[in-house]
């Protein structure tokens, strides 16, 4: 008997216009990927019910991408409120500081707190405009070290910085990389991007991919195609 094919380390961003579409996309892609991602817009529109809807009966991991950023006590309360939904990952902004990150970690002990370093939509000019000392790889490394020191179990960074972040924080931290686009895909609103194969080679553990999958005529087939390409790359490297 042929063993089942393991799903690829991809978090499909379910940036859907409504709950029914998000749930349908999740059903189509879950045979091929480990994780589905619920962002701020979908969560604010439908509330906690969205997590159960996209998780379904498959048991797929849910990445709750709320990017919490507030005073430590407020983030603690927010993290405690969503911890009951059992997300595998919950994002906070590393720029919120070590006390805020520690509160999130303590409030959601069964969820990996993922600290967002520098948004992949920001370029060097944007960093200068907001007063964040760059260049981007240096800012990302500083925020990564700060977050891990405060207890974050995962980090969100551009695939272009993944290798440097891995060298900075070591092997025990999950690296999540948005800004991943298959070769030839439109980069859209992302400034710092890489292909799935490049991101994995750089040390990423979980690739966030949205519109190249959900915008395809058949999201399930698109997810399967990217997963198969990653398996071929891994087999060739081994």
Return d(Cα 187, Cα 211) in angstroms, integer.
10
Per the annotation, the verdict on 67 as an active-site residue is yes
Query: φ and ψ at 153, to 5 degrees?
Result: -95, -10
User: Residue 13's closest CA among 63, 51, 57?
Assistant: 63
Compute CA distances 158 → 32, 51, 193, whole Å.
23, 25, 7
CA distance 54 to 62: 8
Q: How far apart are CA 165 and CA 204, in angstroms?
A: 10
Q: State the CB neighbour count (10 A cutoff) for residue 195.
A: 19
Catalytic residue among 19, 21, 24, 67: 67
Catalytic residue positions, numbered:
67
């Amino acid at each position: 008997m042929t063993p089942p094919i393991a799903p690829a380390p991809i978090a499909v961003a379910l940036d859907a216009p409504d709950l029914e579409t998000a749930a349908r996309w999740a059903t189509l892609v879950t045979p091929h990927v480990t994780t589905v991602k619920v962002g701020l817009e979908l969560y604010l529109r439908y509330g906690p019910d969205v997590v159960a809807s996209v998780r379904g009966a498959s048991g797929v991991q849910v990445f709750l991408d709320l990017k919490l950023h507030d005073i430590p006590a407020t983030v603690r309360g927010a993290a405690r409120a969503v911890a009951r939904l059992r997300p595998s990952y919950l994002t906070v902004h590393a720029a919120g500081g070590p006390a805020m990150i520690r509160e999130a970690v303590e409030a959601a002990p069964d969820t990996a707190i993922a600290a967002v370093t520098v948004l992949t939509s920001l370029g060097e000019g944007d960093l200068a405009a907001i007063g964040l000392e760059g260049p981007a790889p240096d800012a990302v490394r500083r925020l990564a070290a700060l977050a891990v020191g405060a207890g974050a179990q995962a980090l969100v960074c551009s695939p272009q910085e993944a290798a440097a972040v891995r060298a900075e924080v070591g092997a025990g931290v999950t690296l999540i990389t948005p800004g991943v686009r298959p070769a030839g895909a439109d980069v859209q609103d992302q400034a710092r991007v890489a292909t799935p194969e490049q991101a994995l080679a750089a040390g990423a553990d979980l690739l966030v991919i949205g519109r190249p999958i959900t915008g395809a005529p058949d999201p399930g087939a698109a997810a399967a195609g990217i997963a198969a390409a990653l398996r071929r790359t891994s087999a060739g490297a081994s």
